[in-house]
Amino acid sequence: MTYCLALALDDGLVFASDSRSNAGSDYVTTYGKTHVFPLGPDRIFVILTAGNLATTQEVINRLRRDAQAGDDRPSLATVEYLFEAADLVGNVSLDVQEHHARGLARGGADGTATLIVGGQIKGEPPQIFMVYPEGNAITASEETPYLQIGESKYGKPILDRLAHRSLTLADGARLALVSLDATAKSNATVGMPFDVTLYQADTYEIGASQRFGRDSVAYQALNETWNDGLQQVFDSLASSVPSDGWYLC
């Protein structure tokens, strides 16, 4: 499985992904799931991928080929709005799924893919979209400034508690790492290294991208601070909750 998420903040966008891929439990591999399309000076896209690896790889390859073709075919280089980019990615995803439908049906395999498409085209604010396997898409909202794909449930409560649009990009990155960490601790099909990519609004280039492996000092410190802090908050529940019955004993 996979867990990827994106945050749409006032300052810009945060993208984060795990890198575990598995075909059954006896074939576990590492694949990056964050794909950057620097098609500036007036546009940039980041795509996060979940689902069938053959499908998502071919989707990314087709998108890159078409963006570089330089002719008048619809591509990420030619779309004028970000929702059109999401629609384009959905179309390519459907095309790839249909291209292999006969073979996938023979093997009974699931060839579907779910993607997050984020970025900015000049004239619009930065945005993120989640593209469903059916090819249609939704964007985030003011109140729910994040989108998730893959194993999304484990890492959702912390987003629901702490995510809001006024977070800085660095805070967004830390929140994404905490959400990824919670997921990887509870589900063996989601694993390190984690990729985090930051995009500051109106820059049309990636501000920072970093891979966090098990040996990352920063990640270990974040992990330790979070775990110790959580333990302290939990310990404080006993004394700070007013005496209202048995459960404070």
Using CB under 8 A, list all residues that contact a copy of itself.
151, 153-158, 160-162, 169-171, 173-175, 178, 182-183, 185-187, 196, 198, 207-208, 210, 216-218, 221-222, 225-227, 229-234, 236-238, 240-242, 244-249
Taking the complex as a whole, the smallest distance from the CB of residue 185 to a copy of itself amounts, in Å, to 5
Residue with tokens 């000092």: 217
**Based on CB atoms, which residue is closest to a copy of itself, 109 or 248?**
248
**Based on CB atoms, which residue is closest to a copy of itself, 39 or 173?**
173
Q: 123: phi > 0 → left, psi -120 to 50 → alpha, else beta; which? A: left
**Based on CB atoms, which residue is closest to a copy of itself, 72 or 160?**
160
Residues 6+ apart with CB under 8 A from 179: 5, 16, 155, 156, 158, 159
**Based on CB atoms, which residue is closest to a copy of itself, 27 or 217?**
217
Taking the complex as a whole, the smallest distance from the CB of residue 232 to a copy of itself amounts, in Å, to 7
Token pair, residue 193, equals: 């290294």
Taking the complex as a whole, the smallest distance from the CB of residue 20 to a copy of itself amounts, in Å, to 17
Taking the complex as a whole, the smallest distance from the CB of residue 77 to a copy of itself amounts, in Å, to 28
Question: Is 128:82 a contact under the CB 8 Å cutoff?
Answer: no
Taking the complex as a whole, the smallest distance from the CB of residue 41 to a copy of itself amounts, in Å, to 22
Neighbours of 165 (CB within 10 A): 17
**Based on CB atoms, which residue is closest to a copy of itself, 3 or 88?**
3
Question: Is 56:97 a contact under the CB 8 Å cutoff?
Answer: no
Question: Is 85:124 a contact under the CB 8 Å cutoff?
Answer: no
**Cα 122 to the center of its chain, rounded Å:** 22
Beta bridge partners of 131: 115, 137
